[in-house]
Structure 1
Amino acid sequence: MKRSLTLVLVMLLALSLVLTACGPKASQEPGTSTGDETTSQGPKVLRFAIGSEPPALDQQIATDTYAIMLGNHLYEGLVRVQDGKVVPGMAESWEISEDGLTYTFHLRDAKWSDGQPVKAQDFEYAIKRLLNPATASEYAFQGYYIENGEAYNKNKITDPDQVGIKALDDKTLEIKLAVPTKYFLALTNFISLFPVRQDFVEAQGTAYAAEADKILYNGPFIMTEWKHEESLTLEKNPNYWNKDAIKIDRVEIAIVTDSNTAMGMYEAGDLDFVGLPAARVQEFVDNGQAKFYYDGSEFYFQFNVKGRNPEVGKFIGNANFRKAFAYAIDRQNYVDAVLKNGSDPATRYVLPLLSGVNDLFANEYPLEFYPKNADPAKAKEYLDKALAEIGTTIDKVPAIEYLTDDSDSARISAEAIQDMIAKNLGIKLEVKQVPFKQRLELMNKGEYDLVFAGWGPDYDDPMTYLDL
């Protein structure tokens, strides 16, 4: 069930560890108590910042970290995954056939934010919409587990009724898989498989999910305001089935591309937690305010093996040329001197935290492929092989465009990578910084040579990486 790509994920850089400074509590409106006594006088507000505008909040279109994070609070799928365990979501119960191929979900009484009921038909429509070739969803492959899902998405069949998902009635959804898939239940917690309501989507047309009032919500929160490139405001959804379990009344999210600006907002009391700039890490570790946690992401070089033009493509398309990059990067120095946030050098493709058959995958398959430190001699060896195969010399290697985001941390990262490649290979990288949304668009169009990209697991199984 792999996607067909014209790129190669060649060189891992870091397994991401998030380092934040955290305030003591979610904020309250002025005039309310911040002590241990009841706080019923005013709403509880959580305030934090994200690094860029979410490009899309359409359940079947969204691909980025911010949209997925927001989606988990604005929408709800058949199940949720909490502390690694699958718990009921929109489905209050389910049965799985003995052969592992048929899942029957029984939906609870739940409502959309406009008061209409969430129905099994909303899930059927959403997943067929995901797989519809006209939707052009990058995450359509998440529906390939379903019988005939891949065939429909690739136009091998044209009748959506042949796809193995069917609303048996308003409260009962049946999904038939192509093959038994042990993590499929957890996968239904992923945004691409979240429900949408056909009448609302079709009424909004291309404007669907582009503004706060162009979305229907069935999750714990609704978005009441979306100031593009500036902020988003979420408020507790009064129609959510489990609203009494939601203790936060409002979430205020600032969009801040500069980490030092976000840090200043935190110190001014305008944010409740913040990602720490590298220069401030030790200070907050020493004063006990720093909190570390793995966010499950890894970062890597993504090469467009065709290049932006044939001249660049003949180099990037050479396997030995890419291997030279792999050995020219000092991952340990990168995480220690550049990130400074406790991240680990990425020496393997599948994250060590993911489950295997009976143990962690890393314990069952302990291969560490990439070195932690640069190996300039080996990098030069692969570069010489590449140049010989191409029939050229090092002075004829063109500058390679290095695409990355427009944040200050992305600039610092790019400068460090640029220096390592120049020092160990004698190759020039031209850094191109663009807004996050534009980077995704350029990647989708193949208009780049080399991009600094990342991936976080969608579910707890190695296939979340091996399917890339």
Structure 2
Amino acid sequence: MCPSFAWILDGHVKNGGDVIAGTLPVEELGVSAPDDKTFVIELEYPQSYFLSLIGSCGQFTPVRQDKVEEYGKDYAATADKMVTCGPFTMVSSANRLYVFEKNPNYWNADAIHFDRIEMNIIDNGDTQLAMYEQGELDYVQIPTAQVPNYDDRDQEFMNGSLDWVYINCDADYVSNQNLRLALNYAIDRTTYNMLANSGTFQGWGNPVMPAVDGVNGTYGEEFQPEGYPLTEDLTKAQEYLQAAMTELGVSDPSEITIEFSTTDAETNEKIAEVLQEMWQNNLGITVNIKQVTYNELYSNLFPVSEFQVGYSGWSPDYADPYTYLELFISGNVYNYSQYSNSEFDDLMAQSRETTDATERLQILAQAEQILIDTGAVVPLQVRTGHYLIDDDVTGVNFYFSGYNIDLVYGDCASTE
């Protein structure tokens, strides 16, 4: 498993955390192969979402040890240096064109309709669109700027990614809970989405995406607490601001200066400017934008919490609220906010101990409520994917965790 992703074993696979920390040998990891066709995984606690986790994360895909050792760093670099057991096998990967053919040995081969799939790697979104319109492609993702031009033709789905603003809970000013709440209530998330993303995403005021699994429906339908409003609540924002000023010992909001860190991508500059204007106009505070390279932000600033507030987000590793909430557990490797709340941590621990699905999600909803009540993060929007698919292509599914597009049981009328 990739070292940067090994953390996901902690709390999921038995002894995963201790093996990662080096306090137990890898032989103590809760995995075994009692025979040639059986693989056993022991879990730290009951996990209803575990199949979603291993199905969504490529890091859990089994590989043949003998082939990995034979090819070394070249393993899977080309079609002839990989061994797979899925519905399709890669037959070539030259000139940025990946070609897959139906695997006759797949366990459910009779249900697979596509005989061949060609995947073109094309960097320019407008070029992709032009090729689709000319009939050279059957499927294409619409670039964000072009989405309004295809409102009557595109297919839309939540891709699971939540955009938010991390708040360093140990930093000057924003360590104050009331100020963090003021920042949350001073944002018009609907207007933000229109200005920053041409209205192509969905404004959202919760730290958990609503479409993750519930018991009989979605978590959003059955359990999710009410989050921050999609339109600003300036009355509440001012109330929290005044309380923060009293606690911080400042007499004028202009004395409060916040540095907003983001990457140097042009789209992120626009995002930062929209939020800067909302916070400065609605609260009267000063917001300075700091743009750095992607590597600087995610390798140097976020990991050591050298920021006040910073634009980021999270894409789910599996279809469960826990994938978002665990980021705020004290000591989590991705807890860039340095958020620490003992009641929240206790609830997260309780959710791992119960085997009752309803009780578990009720506990996670309570934990989410604490994040909202304490202003742990500034949720902004749920990202959505917009696609064009040829009318002859059917049976293609989209998912918000793991691999967004599923072609396994697709079909094409023109091939019949």
How high is the TM-score relative to the length of structure 2?
0.63
The answer to which structure has the higher helix fraction is: 2
What CA distance in whole angstroms lies between the structure 1 residues aligned with 2:94 and 2:243?
52
2:161 to 287, 297, 301: 297
Residue 235 (1) aligns with residue 102 (2): no
Partner of 1:168: 34
Q: Quote how far apart the aligned CAs of 1:322 are.
A: 1.8
Change (3 A) 1:317 1:268: farther
In structure 2, the residue corresponding to 1:315 is in which secondary structure? coil
Amino acid at match of 1:152: V
Contact 1:403 1:448 (C-alpha < 8 Å) held by counterparts: no
5 Å-filtered alignment, 1:277-426, equals 277-278=144-145, 280-285=146-151, 288-306=152-170, 313-392=171-250, 393-404=252-263, 406=265, 408-425=266-283, 426=285
1:255 to 117, 123, 136: 123
Residue 182 (1) aligns with residue 41 (2): no
Change (3 A) 1:349 1:196: same
Contact 1:404 1:451 (C-alpha < 8 Å) held by counterparts: no
Amino acid at match of 1:321: L
What CA distance in whole angstroms lies between the structure 1 residues aligned with 2:304 and 2:136?
38
Contact 1:350 1:465 (C-alpha < 8 Å) held by counterparts: yes
Contact 2:49 2:319 (C-alpha < 8 Å) held by counterparts: yes
Partner of 1:450: 309
Partner of 2:8: 141
Change (3 A) 1:412 1:211: farther
Change (3 A) 1:328 1:368: same
How high is the TM-score relative to the length of structure 1?
0.57
In structure 2, the residue corresponding to 1:355 is in which secondary structure? coil
Structure 1, 234-243 or 367-376: larger mean CA deviation: 234-243
What CA distance in whole angstroms lies between the structure 1 residues aligned with 2:136 and 2:5?
36
In structure 1, the residue corresponding to 2:119 is in which secondary structure? strand
Contact 2:80 2:91 (C-alpha < 8 Å) held by counterparts: no
Change (3 A) 1:195 1:382: same
Contact 2:101 2:116 (C-alpha < 8 Å) held by counterparts: no
What number of residue pairs does the alignment pair up? 316
Q: Quote how far apart the aligned CAs of 1:167 are.
A: 1.5
Contact 2:92 2:99 (C-alpha < 8 Å) held by counterparts: yes
Amino acid at match of 1:170: D
What CA distance in whole angstroms lies between the structure 2 residues aligned with 1:340 and 1:462?
28
In structure 1, the residue corresponding to 2:215 is in which secondary structure? coil
Contact 1:149 1:163 (C-alpha < 8 Å) held by counterparts: yes
Contact 2:13 2:42 (C-alpha < 8 Å) held by counterparts: yes
What CA distance in whole angstroms lies between the structure 1 residues aligned with 2:246 and 2:94?
54
In structure 1, the residue corresponding to 2:155 is in which secondary structure? strand
What CA distance in whole angstroms lies between the structure 1 residues aligned with 2:243 and 2:255?
15
Q: Quote how far apart the aligned CAs of 1:268 are.
A: 7.5
In structure 2, the residue corresponding to 1:298 is in which secondary structure? strand
Change (3 A) 1:438 1:199: farther
In structure 2, the residue corresponding to 1:249 is in which secondary structure? strand
Which string of whole-angstrom CA distances, capped at 9 and with x for unpartnered residues, describes residues 66-113 of structure 1? xxxxxxxxxxxxxxxxxxxxxxxxxxxxxxxxxxxxxxxxxxxxxxxx
For structure 1, list consecutive stretches of 5 or more residues without a partner in the other structure.
1-59, 62-134, 307-312
Q: Quote how far apart the aligned CAs of 1:297 are.
A: 2.2
Which string of whole-angstrom CA distances, capped at 9 and with x for unpartnered residues, describes residues 392-434 of structure 1? 453443450321361x433333322222122122322314153
Which string of whole-angstrom CA distances, capped at 9 and with x for unpartnered residues, describes residues 253-309 of structure 1? 2234xx66766676677765232434x444322xx3332222222211112334xxx
What CA distance in whole angstroms lies between the structure 1 residues aligned with 2:287 and 2:279?
7
What CA distance in whole angstroms lies between the structure 2 residues aligned with 1:145 and 1:454?
22
Partner of 1:274: 141
Q: Quote how far apart the aligned CAs of 1:348 are.
A: 2.5
What CA distance in whole angstroms lies between the structure 2 residues aligned with 1:338 and 1:359?
31
Structure 1, 423-432 or 382-391: larger mean CA deviation: 382-391
For structure 2, list consecutive stretches of 5 or more residues without a partner in the other structure.
328-416
What CA distance in whole angstroms lies between the structure 1 residues aligned with 2:281 and 2:83?
51
What CA distance in whole angstroms lies between the structure 1 residues aligned with 2:178 and 2:214?
31
What CA distance in whole angstroms lies between the structure 1 residues aligned with 2:68 and 2:277?
48
1:428 to 277, 287, 291: 287
Contact 1:148 1:164 (C-alpha < 8 Å) held by counterparts: yes
Contact 1:140 1:153 (C-alpha < 8 Å) held by counterparts: yes
